[in-house]
Amino acid sequence: MKFMHLSDLHLGKSLNGFSLLKEKDQEHILQQILHIADEQKPDCVVIAGDVYDRALP
């Protein structure tokens, strides 16, 4: 069984109102993750930690 493990994505991370990752950069990173998943064809994707930086994304 093949796993793909991701952790602490913290989408929407900001500090004092300034985005630490631009939305375009986050989209690019997520596209890379999808590309790797498509190539590797994991049986299961495990996301540990926080997906979003705040309770309300």
* Whole-structure pTM value: 0.76
* 18 within a domain of the structure (yes/no): yes
* 20 within a domain of the structure (yes/no): yes
Total of domains in the chain? 1
Residue 12 has a CB neighbour count (10 Å cut-off) of 16
* 35 within a domain of the structure (yes/no): yes
Contact predicate 6/51, CB 8 Å? no
Per-residue pLDDT, 53 = 83
* 12 within a domain of the structure (yes/no): yes
* 55 within a domain of the structure (yes/no): no
pLDDT digits (tens, 9 = 90+) for 10-54: 888 877 777 777 788 888 889 999 999 999 999 999 999 998 887
Q: Compute φ and ψ for 46, nearest 5 degrees.
A: -110, 125
Where in the sequence is the domain holding 33, given as residue range(s)?
Answer: 3-48
* 9 within a domain of the structure (yes/no): yes
